[in-house]
Structure 1
Amino acid sequence: MYGFSIFMNTDLNETKRSYLTKMANRGFEGIFTSMHIPEDDVKLYKKRLIDLGGLAKANHLKLMVDISGDALSRSGFSFDNLAELKALGVTGLRMDYHISNATISKASQDITISLNASTITQQDIDELQANHANFDQLEAWHNYYPRPETGMSHDDFIEKNKCLRQHGFKVMAFVPGDADLRHPLYLGLPTLEAHRFLHPLAALMDMERMSVDDIYIGDGGLKEMTARQLSHYIKEQTVLLRGRAETADFSYVLGNHANRQDAARDVIRSATARFKAIPEIRPENTSARHKGAITIDNCDYGRYMGEIQIVKKDLQADSKVNRVGQIIAEDIALLDYIGAGQKFRIENEKQND
């Protein structure tokens, strides 16, 4: 499942309402929010959570609320009345620090509880079992890390997830957004440090390789084009790439493709390109191919004429290969995650202006 974040540092204005509705229509199924951000005014959380919960229900979205210590009571709620939260549209509580395993166990009888995946220990699991927690309602959600250089490494993340899987936990993690970055640092909210400044879709596709069930956008927004790319991937399993024309033959590469099942090391090869009816391709712009170059084999390549490729690493010039376009810089990172059989679509960058 894929989700996104809506933070309660401001009222749920029209911009946030519109973003929430668009994200629901784009295939996202859950919202994450927090009730213990130090910079926020907790006195305003109750009204804002009521508004957010109502909109979540109206759009059939799950709503996970991050809490710690006395965050619930300070906001006007109580562990003794979780039915009130559920009635508002809250479907889960993420328990951070200063909440006992006894309290967590009791709450798990009534509502989905997510534990801090990054810090949970065997002792915690033993205490939860001793307190008869409902493990069918327990999930493991990783942290996001606002401060640069503090996110997890791939190796530690994978190892932690193996342990969580052994105990039957469903695992969730965050990837960064690229708009409405969260105050006060505005430097992304990833679980993995390597994802901090990565294209959100590239981070999401990388995350999918590491035994994760749910992936949420950590930051409070996505650029319109990024959201569209994520929607294409979520709903159609297609990676949307924007290209810049370099020759008139660029029109031949536009549209839907799939990487061949026998994926090449150096290039992404369109599995359907040579089945398209195209005129003879004469040699043109046979210059060096840098990463992201979009190419068509010309008539000097014999039966390979018409093959369409996207270059994954810098390659030297080949007189038999025409460079007809270039993937724009913002989308280059996506190429590293187009594996065997992956569908992709090339669009002219100008149609997205």
Structure 2
Amino acid sequence: MIGTSVFLGENLNEAIKENLVSMKEHGFTGIFSSLHIPEDESEYYLKRLKTLGEWAIELEMEIMMDVSGSSLTNVGLSFDRPKEILETGVTGLRIDYGISNEVIIKLSKDMKVSLNASTLTEKDIEELIEGGANFNHLEAWHNYYPRPETGLDKKSFIKKNQWLNQLGFRVVAFVPGEDKLRGPLFKGLPSLEKHRAIHPLAAAIELIEDCFVDDIYIGDPGLTQNTQIQFESYFKNKTMLLFAEQEAKSLYALSVVGIHQNRWDNARDVIRSANARFKKMDTIIPESPIRRDKGSVTIDNINYGRYMGEIQISLTDLPIDEKVNVVAKIIEKDQSLLQWCKGGMPFEIRLNNIRE
């Protein structure tokens, strides 16, 4: 599952709903929110919670709500009445400080419960087993970290997740957004510190491929439209979508637009389009050679003989080659995605002038 975040500290207006609809259209099926609220604003939060719940039911999305004991009480709900919680549209509770394992055990009989993945101990597991918790309803969610330099270290993160996987937990973690970062710091909301400033999709792929994470949520409230499209392309169509800018002097940029496949015998220095040079084409005339910096999109010219027409993307800085025309360049933001375009993976190149 991939999900987004909607916070209740502001009025849930039509623009927020439209963003949520867009996220659902691009494959996001979960919503994370929080009931950590000022006590004197509980009336407003309850109204917003009901609105969010109505939207989630309408869009067929799940809501995981971050709660403490007092925050739930402040909006007139109770751990003792889980059916009332479910009636709001909330499908699960992320348990925070001050809530006993006994309460968790009771809640797990009726609804999904998210445990704090970073602080969960073997003693907690023993108590949950002894108390008869429904482990089919339990998940392990990591925190996100608003303050720079406080996010988790990848090595210890992996070790913890391996342990959680062995216990049968579904592991969930956060990556930062980009379109509308959450205040007051506006520095992204990642689980891993290294992800604070990188492309959200690159962060998500690393969590899944390297870190034993099952589900990804965007910690901040939004993604740009193009990044939503990239998430859908990757998770639904299994295709890496890359946006590029045309080299001003090249006549061949349109030749690289479209869907390709990285060769199964993937190269160290470049992504190679598997079938590009086998297509029938006119002679490709050499253009003024320039350096092939990381992200350069190239097509081999007639000087390369039988390789004429081969399309590549540079994974590292490469020298000038008179046999190779540089026709476009992957935008800087998307270059962190290149390392995840593995052997055999389809990828698509779109030029900036046809971006939305």
- Alignment TM-score, normalising by the size of structure 1: 0.97
Measured after TM superposition, the shift of residue 231 of structure 1 is 2.0
* Partner residue, 2:149: 149
Give distance in 1, aligned partners of 2:40 and 2:7: 10
* Partner residue, 2:272: 269
**Against the structure 1 CA distance between its residues 347 and 249, is the aligned structure 2 distance closer, same or farther, given a 3 Å change threshold?**
same
Where does 1:35-184 land on structure 2 (aligned, <5 Å)?
35-36=35-36, 41-184=41-184
**Against the structure 1 CA distance between its residues 40 and 324, is the aligned structure 2 distance closer, same or farther, given a 3 Å change threshold?**
farther
Give distance in 2, aligned partners of 1:277 and 1:76: 69
* Partner residue, 1:235: 236
* Partner residue, 1:214: 215
Greater Cα offset, 234-243 or 156-165 = 234-243
One-letter identity of the residue aligned with 2:255: Y
Give distance in 2, aligned partners of 1:38 and 1:303: 69
Give distance in 2, aligned partners of 1:49 and 1:311: 48
Measured after TM superposition, the shift of residue 30 of structure 1 is 0.7
Give distance in 2, aligned partners of 1:302 and 1:340: 25
Secondary structure of the equivalent of 1:79? coil
* Partner residue, 1:225: 226
Give distance in 2, aligned partners of 1:135 and 1:228: 34
Give distance in 2, aligned partners of 1:316 and 1:194: 30
Give distance in 1, aligned partners of 2:42 and 2:258: 49
Measured after TM superposition, the shift of residue 54 of structure 1 is 0.8
Asked if 2 retains the 8 angstrom alpha-carbon contact of 1:3 and 1:216, the reply is yes
Give distance in 1, aligned partners of 2:39 and 2:69: 16
* Partner residue, 2:193: 193
Give distance in 1, aligned partners of 2:173 and 2:295: 29
Measured after TM superposition, the shift of residue 38 of structure 1 is 6.2
One-letter identity of the residue aligned with 1:66: D
Give distance in 1, aligned partners of 2:28 and 2:267: 32
Q: Verify: 1:334 aligned to 2:343, yes or no.
A: no
Give distance in 1, aligned partners of 2:39 and 2:178: 21
Measured after TM superposition, the shift of residue 331 of structure 1 is 1.5
> Aligned Cα RMSD in Å?
1.4
Q: Verify: 1:320 aligned to 2:323, yes or no.
A: yes
Give distance in 2, aligned partners of 1:38 and 1:211: 36
Give distance in 2, aligned partners of 1:170 and 1:257: 33
Match for residue 350 of structure 1 among 345, 349, 353: 353
Measured after TM superposition, the shift of residue 39 of structure 1 is 10
- Alignment TM-score, normalising by the size of structure 2: 0.96
Asked if 2 retains the 8 angstrom alpha-carbon contact of 1:291 and 1:313, the reply is yes
Secondary structure of the equivalent of 1:189? coil
Q: Residues 152-172 of structure 1: CA distance to partner in whole angstroms, max 9, x if unpaired?
A: 111111101011011111111
Greater Cα offset, 26-35 or 272-281 = 272-281
Measured after TM superposition, the shift of residue 185 of structure 1 is 0.7
Q: Residues 185-206 of structure 1: CA distance to partner in whole angstroms, max 9, x if unpaired?
A: 1110000111101011111111
Greater Cα offset, 163-172 or 203-212 = 203-212
Secondary structure of the equivalent of 1:216? strand
Give distance in 2, aligned partners of 1:254 and 1:229: 16
Asked if 1 retains the 8 angstrom alpha-carbon contact of 2:111 and 2:137, the reply is yes
**Against the structure 1 CA distance between its residues 38 and 308, is the aligned structure 2 distance closer, same or farther, given a 3 Å change threshold?**
farther
Give distance in 2, aligned partners of 1:286 and 1:39: 65
Give ranges in structure 1 of 5+ residues lacking alignment.
none
Q: Residues 16-42 of structure 1: CA distance to partner in whole angstroms, max 9, x if unpaired?
A: 110111111111111110111569933
Give distance in 2, aligned partners of 1:104 and 1:345: 45
Secondary structure of the equivalent of 2:126? helix
Q: How many residues are matched?
A: 353
Match for residue 257 of structure 2 among 241, 248, 254: 254
Asked if 2 retains the 8 angstrom alpha-carbon contact of 1:285 and 1:324, the reply is no
Match for residue 313 of structure 2 among 306, 310, 315: 310
Give ranges in structure 2 of 5+ residues lacking alignment.
none
Secondary structure of the equivalent of 2:80? helix
Asked if 1 retains the 8 angstrom alpha-carbon contact of 2:39 and 2:74, the reply is no
One-letter identity of the residue aligned with 1:50: K
Give distance in 1, aligned partners of 2:21 and 2:39: 26
Match for residue 299 of structure 1 among 297, 302, 310: 302
Measured after TM superposition, the shift of residue 298 of structure 1 is 1.2
